[in-house]
Amino acid sequence: MTLLRLLPLTLLLAVSPGAAGPQAPLILPPSGTTPSNSPDQAVANLLRDVRTSRRQIMTDAMKPDLKPDEAKTFWAIYEPFDREMTVLIERHLNLIRTYAQVFVESKPAQLDQLVEESVTLEAAKAQLRKRTYQQLSKALSARSAARFYMLDMRSERLIEARIANDIPVLSTK
């Protein structure tokens, strides 16, 4: 069994360019030349990269679409979203770290609890995105709000791809 089974399949999809036209590249910095041997170190590296990269990704991608007054409104809504989302991402990564530490010796009920918590965190992230989309669509435009949503989802998929790349496959032994 691998960590990949804990993650929803849809989050493991590659990021495609989509039909929305040219996009700013969305990449998280590489964690190194090879995947980490330690799940703890891989999670710590990913948390560091997420903290520094999410805002830069959004800045680069949203800047061309927002006038200066719209940018102030956008960031006033985005910053609380980003803080709350970062907490949820950290909780998810810590959950994966726990899963990696207890996997071999855990009982089915413990694994069920970890998976349930993962599903709950994914739902909380989706609800937070939806709430922020609604705030942005009221304060700006549906187009700007939809762009935020699309970019944040792509950012999330990149984070999940990094998790799949950086955290080693768990052994059942």
Model confidence over 69-91: pLDDT tens digits?
999 999 999 999 999 998 998 89
Looking at the structure of the chain, the number of domains it has is: 1
Mean pLDDT, residues 154-162: 83
170 domain residue, yes or no: no
Does the pTM exceed 0.85?
A: no
Split at pLDDT 50, 70, 90, the class of 23 is very low
Tokens read off for 152: 């944040």
Residue in the block written with tokens 């709000």 = 145
Task: Specify if 54 maps to a domain.
Answer: yes
CA distances (Å), origin 86, targets 48, 50, 120: 11, 8, 15
Query: Considering the domain boundaries, does residue 134 fall inside one?
Result: yes
Task: Confirm whether 10 is domain-assigned.
Answer: no
Domain membership of residue 26 (yes or no) is no
Residue-wise over 19-56: b if at least 16 C-beta within 10 A, else e?
eeeeeeebebeebeeeebeebeebbebbbebbeebbee
Residue 11 counted as domain residue: no
- Answer whether residue 168 shows pLDDT above 90: no
Cβ 136 vs Cβ 144: under 8 Å? yes
What pLDDT does 82 receive? 92
Q: 38 pLDDT exceeds 90?
A: no
* Cβ pair 140, 70 in contact under 8 A: yes
Domain that holds residue 47: 36-164
- On whether residue 25 sits in a domain, the answer given is no
111 vs 27, residue with greater confidence: 111
Is residue 122 one of the residues assigned to a domain? yes
Residues ≥6 apart with Cβ < 8 Å to 98: 114
